[in-house]
Each structure stands twice: as structure tokens, then as C-alpha cells.
Structure 1
Amino acid sequence: MTTDRKPTSPESRWIWPFELLEQIGEGGMGVVYRARYVVNGREVALKMLPSDVTDETALARFERELEVLKNLKHPNIVRCFGGACENRRRFYAMELVEGGSLEDKLQEKKQFPWEQVIYFALQMCDALTCSHAAGVVHRDIKPGNFLLAHSGQLKLSDFGLASVADSRRITAAGKTAGTFLYMAPEQIRGQEITDKTDLYALGCVLYELITGTPPFIGETPAATLHMHCQNLPVRPSEKALDCPIALERIILQLLEKDPADRPESAQAVMRQLRSVKQSVVVTRPTPEEMNDRARSGSGATRSQAKSPSSGVPLPGPVEPTNSVPRWVAIALAITLACSLSWNIIQVIQRQSGDHGEMLWVQAAHHSDPDVRTVAIESLGEIHQKTGRHLPVLETALEDIDPEVRQQSAHEIGQGGRRARHLIPVLIRVQKNDADSRVRDSANRAVQNLQGTLPEQKPEEKSWIGWAVAVLLTGVTTLGIYHWFKTSSVPRTSPLPFRHA
């Protein structure tokens, strides 16, 4: 169908009670005009079946579309005002949507941000929920059949007969494939058509909106249909880096070959879409940043560790004293300062470590599989030291990316006794996972947890803390010993003392 605007001839300007203003669309099964309703002057879109069409199937489709639209009343479905037949010309009037189609916007923008895709997808699902509840399967979901109002509201159109452009140009191949780009496998094979057929086409549309290309494009229509039935689509995040992993999962589930593996309904898809949020971008802190944090935490402490100034001795006899020698006091002060500094550094590192752990947990749900793999590796190292975050590693066993699953199985296998309760889960992965690398990794993890592989060497304790503790204990003991030794020995002043 073409969308060139053409003036109407004077003799055909009227089809009562409408004045035809201009032609705004044309196809093999009908012509669409901008028309004015003479009763109140309202402009509408008027679809007319050519008078020379006598095919019974075409006439039945036109009548069926009129009945469907009259019974579907929803903000996201084009409203029908009714139709008639005059001078062997069948026609019906419907709501005029002047913002063009989603297909037009897609050709203009090439692709949409993920937030806008979700905004459109929710409206599409709302329209399909209404249609499916009425027992109507659209069968021709595609960008060209979603009309876009100036307010941004989508309107689903063409329930049985194209009213806007029904062909889709593949610029790269110079071919026209039409609705082949959005056709479900069961539709191609001539099997039963259900609501889930529309959901597959919806997945194709969402894939195209966020990546700029349909999921499958062949050199010929036959090649495209074969890809729909046999090929797996490239993951959307590989073409659109900002695509949230949750949205990607929804799209890939809609594109499942078996209708039973797709979401239960358009309403279920709406619930999933409303929960989509973008993950944060996580970067590993550099060694310089960690050193700066440690220095900033210990510098203030060192500046506060200063020995007090000594007083001036008075002449005359000195009573027996139990004061600690100066060198012992200095040594004790230095040891205390080192101990305090060490403790502060440990607190700072523990706090920064907790914050870093939360970032890695968030990164485990990132849209980029490489980021998820690094996050799982880091969380595995943290689990070996602290025993935390094992549930995150278990969840990653169901990731859509095999490298993430493989890394997760490996890290669980290094978890020791804390991870032994996950052996049944690993055995299930070993038997059922589609990727051989994941199965091998799960097998090694099971063997490691069962103790058939050499145990890991226990992590070496930090010797610095022990050294500080021993030094502090030694200096304190030496000071106390010296204090007891000298407290019983009277000391006299070298200067003579004269009574007044």
C-alpha cells in the first residue's frame, strides 16, 4: 500500500454523509481517505473497498473487520464509527490518527531508547489484552499497523484489511518482505493460530524498535520464513548496549519457537515490563584508589599520635618514684599508634569492601554478559573468604549466557563446605544444560565439593595483625617489668638540698 496523498476528482468527492478530502492510503484491498462528516464537520479516516472487488473472501474480510472494530472499544485501538454500502461501494469511517505510523517513526529514528520501547510496549500489550479478551487474534502485528497520535498514544489498526502501508522495505537487500518479518512459526506452518501468535509478532516488533532491525532478515521471503522457524535471534543487547537484561529476557521469551514457551498472555507481559529497571554500571576500583582511601584514613590518626611534652625537674631530693622510663613511654606510644592506625585501616577496608560487594551483586544482573561474568568471578572470591553471596551464584546458574553459567558453576565448586548443599542443583545443571562447557564445569564443581579433587589450600592468615599484636604485648610487658623493678629503688637528686 502506498501513502501518497492524492486529491479526489470532483465527481467522486461525495459518499453520503461524507465529503472525501484527499486520499491518504491505498492497497490491493482498499483505499483510505481523509473525509469530513457533513453533520458536524468532524474529520475522519474513511476506508473504502473498490467497487470492482467481487471476491467473496475479500468482501467477507472487509465485513469481518468492520464488525471487529465496532466491538473493540479501547484507547489503544482505532475507533470505528460504523459503515454502509452505497452504489456497490462498501466503506466505514474510523478515527483519524494524524501522527503517522510507528513504522514511519522507526524509519526516521532508526531505533528507540529502551525506556521509550517499554512505553510503546505497554500500550501494545494493553491493546492486545482487549482484543484477545474479545476472542480476536490480530494476525498482522507490525510497526505499520500501530498508528501514533501527536500525544504519543499508540492505536492498533488493520484488523483484517490493510489501511496503511502493508509492505516493508529491506534497504540492505533491496527486497520487500511484508509481514514475513513478523510471522510466527506456527503461522508459517499453517498450524493453529492463538493469542500467542500475536505475542510472537509483538516480540519481533519490540526487537526491531530497540535494535533498529527485525530479528530475522533473509535474502528472500522464503529464507526469512525459514529463519523464523529454525534460527535463534541475536541477543538484543549485542546490538543495543543499553538494553536492560530484564527487557532482553522478555523479548527473547516472546520469540520462542514453541507457543507454550511464550508468556501466558499480553497482560502477563505488561506485568513483566513494569518491573524492568536498568542496572548500574560497575567498574572495579583501581589499586591507586584503594591506596588513597587507606592513606586518607590512617594519616589523621598518625597526626594525633604525639607524645606529651616533658616537665622541668625541680632541684632537691626526689622521693622514690615509679615513673616509666622515657624510652619505654616512647616505644609504647609508637606501638599504640601503629595498632590504632592498623585498626582504622581495617575498618576502612571492611566498609569499602561491603560497598564493593553490593556493586558486584548489582553487576551480576547487568545487561552485558562480560560484566556479569566478571561480577560472578569476584563474588566467588568474596564467598571463599566470607561465605556470603552464595544465592547470587546459584541464581547465575540460570543465566541466558553460557559463559556466565560456566563461571557460576566453577565458583560454587570452590565454595567448600558452605556450598555442599548445592550439589543436587549442580547435578541437574550437569545433566540438563544445553552447553557442554557448562556441563563440564558443573561436573568438576560436583567432584570438588564431594572431595574427589584435591582440597584447596587454606587461605594464609595475615601476618601483619599478628606482628602488631606481638609487638604491643612485648613492649607493654617490658614496660610493666621495668616499672616494678625501679619502683622499689629510691632516687635522690644530685643537687644538695638545704632546709630553710
Structure 2
Amino acid sequence: MERTTLGPYRLMRVLGRGGMGTVYEGVNTQTGEPAAIKVLSAGLSVDREFRRRFEGEIETLKRLRHPNIVRLFGFGEQEGALYYAMELVDGLSLEEEMARGRRFHWREVARIAIQTCRALRHAHDRGVVHRDIKPANLLLKADEQVKLSDFGIARLFGTGGLTAAGNVLGTVEYMAPEQADAKPVTPKTDLYSLGAVMYALLAGRPPFRASSVPEMLEKHRSAHPEPIARYNTDVPAELERVIQELMEKSPEKRIANASVLARRLEAMLHALSPGRLQPPAVADQKSTAESPVHSSGAEEPGSPDHVPSQTGLASTRPMTTAPQPAEAVEQEHAAASDEPLAETKQTAAFDIYAIQGEQGADVRAPPGPTRPSGLFVPVPEEALDRVETEKPPRRIWLSLQTWILAVGLLGVGLVAWYLLQPPSADQLYKQITEMTARGTVSAYREAEDDINRFLELYSTDPRAETLRDYLVEIDLDRRENRLRLQAKGLATTANILPIESEYLEAIGYAYFDPETAAGKLRALLEFYGDRQDLSGPTGQILELARRRLERLERRIDFYVDPRRARIRERLAEADRIERDDPEAARRIRQAVVVLYGTKPWAAEEVTRAQEALRRQSDHPPTTKQETKQEANVHNHEANARETP
């Protein structure tokens, strides 16, 4: 039977489910305050190790009190289920924003990063490393305030068995190299992940893509992401350098800490927006400000490139699981509204915290795993941000069967790791070579995925430059196809660049007047010839213009020779008949000038025809016909004089 209450909370609907528990939207029946209730599944609640992890998560949340970090309302245990209540945030995660198609401007990304830096500084100063910074754990409210959620896998570095080297916790798309190697984590681990998130927001995709977890981990260890400019040409060089420094493989080479990163981003915004600097975070908030406003956790929804995290509970916000019908839950609530709350208990991990009773008395939790019946353990605001002395970890003795099982699982994992290793550079390059043997753009497009994979895995290989040329050909072919559709009116020309418009005009002449098209393309290349940066759309158009001009010149040469021979033949005919029939010769020469006067390749013949016309006009020749006509006139005049 689905539960309808937990402590003082009436459960309204299910927000999400995960392998480790369920998240509900609830309302405090005493205060009317909404909350997100995170519940450990019943089976895991009885497991000592999972209970220990759950209690560690609560202890982590108690250390944090910041306007950009989750707020903890309370915790407890009811009917064998561990749970805690957090603030319910009305907003979407950055991952959901990206899934909806939102493209973030670089200024937005900088401001989001600055707010995240302030949250991380607060956590790092208290010895807490988040270990799972990703778009799904960064919530964006309507007023653009960022809330860092889900410290479910964050642990106190340097203390406690759960944070020892050898445990890989986190989401692999944004995981730091040292985290992928299960080495000890530091605050710079979170900075690497933040850099990866900034890359994803600007590029619209994670820094790396892989078909398996081992392949993704290997990329974080050895590969370098493609330049952001490949996906977003508007990103300032300074911001791209910041992200490159954050994603350095060695933690020592990364930016020193979250405060330094925030100041550097603020300085960049100021430098690039003189006189118009907007506060990058919530106005007038300092990085150490304390506020009662915090956000709930989030679980990352699935995607084709997503490798799900194996730690932490489900999200405290809506997920891929559909919400339960609110009407059915409301009817059950109405029937049970007069009944007393079910028994609640406090876990032993929190006995040292005093709670406020109904009469305002300060009551300290008694020893043992349970508290009196009917009580919920609220965490007042003043109890947050109290760092307690850690108890030394208990030594856990493992049985022989456990060791055998662990060794067996390790063996299976090693075999799976070996089988899932990416192909070597030689193997992958050979495969690409076979696919592109035809040397056509269509062959390059068929091998595009393998080409990108090679460049991600082996970007420093000497053969990578050849494969990058293949990608250039693919990009040029795509732009050529788009322009061809625009020229035919089959694609929109909205927001078209001036150089694209001029290129379309030039190639519009190619089919019926190739000479004019060639002339316009030469003018286009000459006009934009001073451009130093040939990357991006302008560089692609210029390259397409050069290639189209070469094809047009070959086409013109193919039919020019026969035409030029015909013109010369007609001019020779005009020269031959000029004495007998100067008018016919003149008409032939005039036709040559009219038909081919604008053709560059016929300039010599046109000039010859024009000179002959001028000569014929200045010195008209005496033909036999003219001589005969003059003789007839002369005889006629003579006869007239002789007649009386």
C-alpha cells in the first residue's frame, strides 16, 4: 500500500523513483510548508552499510547553510523507512533546460558558474566535496538563482571509510580524472566537474561521448575535448581558457579554488561589459552569506549518452517517472486527516542534536536507535552549519565468503573492462581508411562517427590531421547543401549572412551564364580577401567560392575553344567578302561585338571586330558594284547633255 504520510508531512505525489528510494512532494500539516521528502527504500533501510551512507548524507547536509545550497528541514524513521525533508524548489535543472533546447549565452554560463562557485566555497570550507557536479544537480529558479542540490554522494574528504580511495562515486560524463581512478578527491575535483558543466552549457553536449563507462573514464584520463569554438563561435577566448584550466588532467594545474574562479569570471564579465556590469549572482549576496532559502536534490534523467550514477537516492524534483494521481492521494488524506501520525523514530546518528518540543522545551535525544512515538526530528535553521567531531570509524571485519565474492566480482569487472576497451589507434584508423577508400564526401560522412571517436581518443596522433581534413570536407558539404536548398527556395533565408547572400547570387548565374557567375565569385574572393580569420561560416563560404570558381573555369574552358574558333571563322569570312559586299561584312563584325562583347575569353576577337568596323567606317572600300553604279550614272548624265 502506498504511504500517504511521513511524520508531519502529507504526501501529495511521487516526484521520482530510483534504485535506492523514492522522492515525494509533501506538505507539512502543521505549517503548510511544501517540501520534498527523500525516502530510503525499505529493503535498504535494514542494511547497515546503506543506513550508514544515509546517515552520512544527513550529516553532510547539516554542515551546509547557504543561499545557493539545499536546505534541510528535518529527518526521521517511520515504519522501518529512513527519510528526510528538504525545500521543494520551483524550477528546472540545467539538464532539463538543455533537453528543452535552450542554448545558454556565455554571459549566462559565467553567472551560473559564479553562483556555483560560492556554493562550492561554502562546502569546501567545511570539508565537504560534492563529487557529483552535473547539470542535473544545478537548479535554476525563475529569478535565475542557482541552487546546488544532491549532496547524496558528497563525503568529508580525509575522514570516514566512505571517502577512502578506491570508491568511484559520481556521474562519469563530468567526472574528474582522479575520481575516475578512484584516487582521493579534493575541492579541485569539483572544479573539474564545474568546468565540464560549463563546456556542456556552451557546446550543447558533454565534453566527451562514449559507448561505455570504461571508455568514458579513459577519455577523462587521457583525451582532450574538442575546442568549444567548434560548437559555439561566440565564446570569448578568456572563458575558453578558464574552462581549459579547470579541465586540466592534473589537479595542481587547475585554478586554485572556487573563490579565485569566481573573481576571475567576475573580472571577465566586467572587462567585456564596460559600464554595464550586471551582478552575476543574486544581488548584494556575499559568498559567505547565510540564508534560509535552499533547494532540493535532483536526479538526472536518462539520455542516449547518459551513464547513470550508482550512488545517492532519486531526485527530489520531477523525474522520468510519471507523478501519481493527486486526486487519489487527496481522498486518502481526507479520510486519514483526523488520525494520529504514525510512529516516527530518530536514527542514532543524530542523538547529539537537541530538538524543539511542542511546548518549546529543549529535548535531547536519548541513547539508542529510536525516539518516543509520534515525533518528527526537525532541524532548525540555527542547527545547520554546525561541524561536529567525527567518531572514529568502526573496523569492519569481512568474512571469507565476502572476500571470495569480492575477488570474483573483481575478476568479472576486469574481464568486462578488457572487453570494453576502445580499439587501438591503428585498428580504428584502418577501419576509417577502408570506409573512406572511395575518397568521396559521402564516404567521409559514413565514417564520421569513427573519425570523431579517433580524434577524441587519439587527438595527438599524427594521422589525426588527415581526419580533421575529412571533417572539414563534411562541414563544407553540409553548408553547400544548405545553400543549394536556399538558392532553390527550399530553405529559409532568415538571418542569412551578407557573404552567404552574395554567394547565392553568384551561383544563381552558374547554369545560364557561367562567365558572369565566375566574375562575381572572383569579386567575392577579392572583396573578402583581407579576412585573417577564415574559420566559421565566412571561411567556409570563401572555400566554397574558390572551389566553385575552379569548376566554372574548367567548364568555361571546355566550351570556349569551339566558340572562339567559330568567331574567328566568321571574322575571316567578313574579311573575305568585305570588298564585294562591305555591308554584309559589317553586319558579321557587329554581331560578334554584340554577342561576345562581355565575354572575357572573347576579348581578342571582339577587339579585332571593333577595329575592322572603325577602319570600314573611316575608309569605305570601292566595290565592283559601286563602280558599275557610278558608270551608269555617268552615262545617263552624258546622254542627257547630248539630247537637244
TM-score under structure 2 normalisation?
A: 0.39
Q: 1:199 to 1:206 in 2, by over 3 A?
A: same
Q: 1:157 to 1:251 in 2, by over 3 A?
A: same
Question: What is the root-mean-square deviation in Å for CA atoms of aligned residues?
Answer: 2.7
1:96 is displaced (CA, Å) by 0.4
- Counterpart-to-counterpart distance in 1, 2:145 and 2:272: 27
Q: Alignment partner for residue 78 of structure 1, among 53, 70, 81? A: 70
Q: List aligned pairs for 1:121-270, cutoff 5 A.
A: 121-160=113-152, 179-270=171-262
Contact 1:29/1:58 (8 A) holds in 2 = no
- Counterpart-to-counterpart distance in 1, 2:63 and 2:250: 31
1:239 is displaced (CA, Å) by 1.5
Q: Alignment partner for residue 38 of structure 2, among 41, 47, 53? A: 47
Q: Alignment partner for residue 30 of structure 1, among 2, 21, 34? A: 21
Q: What SS does the aligned partner of 2:22 have?
A: strand
Give percent identity, aligned residues only: 42
- Counterpart-to-counterpart distance in 2, 1:156 and 1:123: 9
1:113 aligns with 2:105: yes
Contact 1:81/1:92 (8 A) holds in 2 = yes
Q: List aligned pairs for 1:384-395, cutoff 5 A.
A: none
- Counterpart-to-counterpart distance in 2, 1:36 and 1:152: 25
1:30 is displaced (CA, Å) by 1.9
1:81 is displaced (CA, Å) by 0.9
- Counterpart-to-counterpart distance in 1, 2:14 and 2:101: 26
Q: 1:369 to 1:142 in 2, by over 3 A?
A: farther
1:276 aligns with 2:268: yes
1:72 is displaced (CA, Å) by 0.4
Q: 1:125 to 1:187 in 2, by over 3 A?
A: same
Contact 1:244/1:276 (8 A) holds in 2 = no
Deviations 1:225-255, CA, capped at 9 Å, x for gaps: 1111111111112211000111101101000
Which residue of structure 2 aligns with residue 61 of structure 1?
Answer: 53
Specify the code of the residue in structure 2 equivalent to 1:134: R
Contact 2:60/2:151 (8 A) holds in 1 = yes
Which residue of structure 1 aligns with residue 4 of structure 2?
Answer: 13
Deviations 1:385-433, CA, capped at 9 Å, x for gaps: xxxxxxxxxxxxxxxxxxxxxxxxxxxxxxxxxxxxxxxxxxxxxxxxx
Specify the code of the residue in structure 2 equivalent to 1:28: G
- Counterpart-to-counterpart distance in 2, 1:60 and 1:122: 33
Specify the code of the residue in structure 2 equivalent to 1:55: D
- Counterpart-to-counterpart distance in 2, 1:69 and 1:19: 23
Specify the code of the residue in structure 1 equivalent to 2:141: A
Q: 1:20 to 1:231 in 2, by over 3 A?
A: same
Structure 1 residues not aligned, in runs of 5+: 1-8, 163-177, 281-362, 372-500
Q: List aligned pairs for 1:86-97, cutoff 5 A.
A: 86-97=78-89
1:71 is displaced (CA, Å) by 2.0
Specify the code of the residue in structure 1 equivalent to 2:16: G
1:127 is displaced (CA, Å) by 0.8
- Counterpart-to-counterpart distance in 2, 1:369 and 1:232: 24
Q: What SS does the aligned partner of 2:16 have?
A: strand
Specify the code of the residue in structure 2 equivalent to 1:137: V
1:154 is displaced (CA, Å) by 1.3
Contact 2:66/2:122 (8 A) holds in 1 = yes
Q: Between Structure 1 and Structure 2, how many residues are aligned?
A: 265
Specify the code of the residue in structure 1 equivalent to 2:242: I
1:161 is displaced (CA, Å) by 5.3
Q: List aligned pairs for 1:236-385, cutoff 5 A.
A: 236-277=228-269
- Counterpart-to-counterpart distance in 1, 2:48 and 2:250: 34
Contact 1:30/1:161 (8 A) holds in 2 = no
Which residue of structure 2 aligns with residue 332 of structure 1?
Answer: none
Q: What SS does the aligned partner of 2:92 have?
A: coil
1:187 is displaced (CA, Å) by 0.8
Bigger relative CO (Cα 8 Å, ≥ 6 apart): 2
Contact 1:66/1:82 (8 A) holds in 2 = no
Specify the code of the residue in structure 2 equivalent to 1:272: R
- Counterpart-to-counterpart distance in 2, 1:193 and 1:139: 8
Contact 1:70/1:82 (8 A) holds in 2 = no
Which residue of structure 1 aligns with residue 417 of structure 2?
Answer: none
- Counterpart-to-counterpart distance in 1, 2:182 and 2:237: 33
1:56 is displaced (CA, Å) by 2.7
Contact 2:130/2:153 (8 A) holds in 1 = no
- Counterpart-to-counterpart distance in 2, 1:152 and 1:239: 24
Contact 2:22/2:40 (8 A) holds in 1 = yes
Contact 2:203/2:232 (8 A) holds in 1 = yes
- Counterpart-to-counterpart distance in 2, 1:69 and 1:232: 34
Deviations 1:157-216, CA, capped at 9 Å, x for gaps: 111259xxxxxxxxxxxxxxx811011111111212111111111111000001101111
- Counterpart-to-counterpart distance in 1, 2:84 and 2:174: 27
Structure 2 residues not aligned, in runs of 5+: 155-169, 274-530, 537-644
- Counterpart-to-counterpart distance in 2, 1:139 and 1:57: 20
1:370 is displaced (CA, Å) by 6.4
Contact 1:62/1:161 (8 A) holds in 2 = no
Q: 1:65 to 1:369 in 2, by over 3 A?
A: farther
Deviations 1:97-147, CA, capped at 9 Å, x for gaps: 121211101111353110111111111111111110110001111011112
Q: What SS does the aligned partner of 1:23 have?
A: strand
Contact 2:174/2:197 (8 A) holds in 1 = yes
- Counterpart-to-counterpart distance in 1, 2:272 and 2:122: 32
Q: What SS does the aligned partner of 2:91 have?
A: coil
1:51 is displaced (CA, Å) by 1.6
1:369 is displaced (CA, Å) by 9.3
Q: What SS does the aligned partner of 2:15 have?
A: strand
